[in-house]
Amino acid sequence: MAACANRWAMMGATMVAVFVAGTMPRVVQAQAPASAPVAMPEETVNLTMEQKHVIKEIIIKDMKTPAAPDAAQVDAKPGDASPQGVALQPMPVEVAAKVPQVRTHSYFVAGDKVVIVDPKDHKVSTVVE
């Protein structure tokens, strides 16, 4: 009989432990990141890879637009102000017809990149590499 009572006591203790563990909130400590994440500037124009290819093909290959002389050393990123002294070109009609999102934008060529600029605030919208 003592063995039976022991078995019931063990089962009861196990049931209580499972019940308590299942209802108790678990405390998890958050870890601080080793270094603060760097926020990447948002592109204000969303282009697909195909649209970027079309822009580069038309502006650099078909039109053979030369790189702006003052833009050779420019490392433009979305959100940056367009460099002083770099002449902005209006978006070609051929590009605007195929990629309507950039119809109202301007651009300049820096090396082998097409830098698309919003003419309202003169900030880089996106860089087509």
Tens digit of pLDDT for each residue in 55-79? 999 999 988 888 877 666 678 899 9
Higher pLDDT, 18 or 100: 100
In the chain, which residue ranges form alpha helices assigned H by DSSP?
2-23, 49-56, 93-98
Sheet with 123-128: list strands edge to edge.
89-90, 106-110, 113-118, 123-128
Per the structure, the count of domains in the chain is 1
| Cβ count near 90 (within 10 Å) | 12
Would you state the pLDDT for residue 26? 59
User: What's the half-sphere exposure (Cβ side, CA atoms, 13 Å) at 121?
Assistant: 8
78 within some domain? yes
16 within some domain? no
Give the tokens for residue 39: 């926020």
Closest alpha carbon to 43 in 93, 105, 94:
105
Closest alpha carbon to 51 in 124, 128, 111:
128
124 within some domain? yes
61 within some domain? yes
3 within some domain? no
Tens digit of pLDDT for each residue in 109-126? 988 899 999 989 999 999
97 within some domain? yes
User: pTM of the prediction?
Assistant: 0.66
Enclosing domain of residue 77: 49-128
Place of tokens 């563990």: 21
Question: Which CATH number do you get for residue 77?
Answer: 3.10.450.160
